[in-house]
Amino acid sequence: MEIQLKLLLAGVLLVLSSVSNATIITHGDLVTDDTTKVITQVSTGRQYTRFDTFDLSYAQTIEALEPSESYFGWNIATSAVADDFINAALGSDSSLCDGQVAYFSFCGQIVGWSDGDFGESYLSDSDYFAYLTSAGALTGTNIISLFEITSNGVVYDYENWSTDVSLDVYSSGRNGRPINLLLYKDFDATDPTAVTEPTSLVILSLSIFGLVAARARKKA
């Protein structure tokens, strides 16, 4: 029993050590860290890709969602999902950019934001992500829209921005920083590939540590 407790304690310390090396970043209801490729919405478990997770063209992104491909089970964010993402980052249930808005609309400001918090994208002083203007509209004019987050956290919505062809120009990156489509996946407890959010690892580890300590006291 003593050996088992020692092994369990060693595992806890290993997990805590790995998490301690990660920089955890939280804005509103969203949390990420610099060792994973996802942003997690704490209240729902929904996961989003960080802005610098991949560098794919529009067609390559569509292909990556197919069965057996790298992002099977993920979806391209629509206007409604992108709005939810921004609202979560703002720590609000709604913002000035909910629904269809005018091009280059001010949405609000993310408190405590630093450039690159959710991944470097396009410009060195602003981060961008793309989304589908309308659900199910994969081809046509102005099917792509953008959100911009400036270096001081001000958010702008470029509704009905342009075409997939224009997005491909920016997906090739500027100084190695592309503009990517935002992907999302709703939490599924049965999915073995689900990524555990960093702070959850800390809570789990501390719980196990408490169990180890309790067992040790009982034995004494």
Q: pLDDT in tens for each of the 220 residues of the chain? A: 555 544 444 444 444 445 556 789 999 999 998 788 899 999 999 999 999 888 888 999 999 999 999 999 999 999 999 999 999 999 998 888 888 788 899 999 999 999 999 988 877 789 999 999 986 666 667 899 999 999 999 999 999 999 888 888 887 655 567 889 999 999 876 665 554 555 455 444 444 555 555 555 555 5
Strand partners, 105: 157
How far is Cα 161 from Cα 130, in angstroms, rounded to an integer? 9
Structure tokens at 33: 């860290």
pLDDT attached to residue 192: 54
| Pairing, β 38-41 against β 47-49 | antiparallel
Q: Are 39 and 30 in contact (CB under 8 A)?
A: yes
Same domain for 20 and 113, yes or no, is no
CB contact set of 10 (below 8 Å; sequence gap of 6+): none
Same domain for 210 and 140, yes or no, is no
Residue 217 DSSP SS3: helix
Residue 59 belongs to domain spanning: 37-194
pLDDT attached to residue 183: 97
Structure tokens at 61: 């992104």
Best CA proximity match to 103, nearest among 168, 43, 147? 147
How far is Cα 76 from Cα 133, in angstroms, rounded to an integer? 11
pLDDT attached to residue 20: 53
Same domain for 186 and 200, yes or no, is no
Same domain for 119 and 10, yes or no, is no
Same domain for 109 and 75, yes or no, is yes
pTM: 0.77
How far is Cα 166 from Cα 21, in angstroms, rounded to an integer? 38
pLDDT attached to residue 203: 43
How far is Cα 104 from Cα 71, in angstroms, rounded to an integer? 30
Best CA proximity match to 114, nearest among 23, 21, 50, 25? 25
Same domain for 53 and 88, yes or no, is yes
Listed in sequence order, the DSSP H helices in the chain are 2-20, 58-64, 79-90, 164-171, 198-219
Same domain for 19 and 86, yes or no, is no
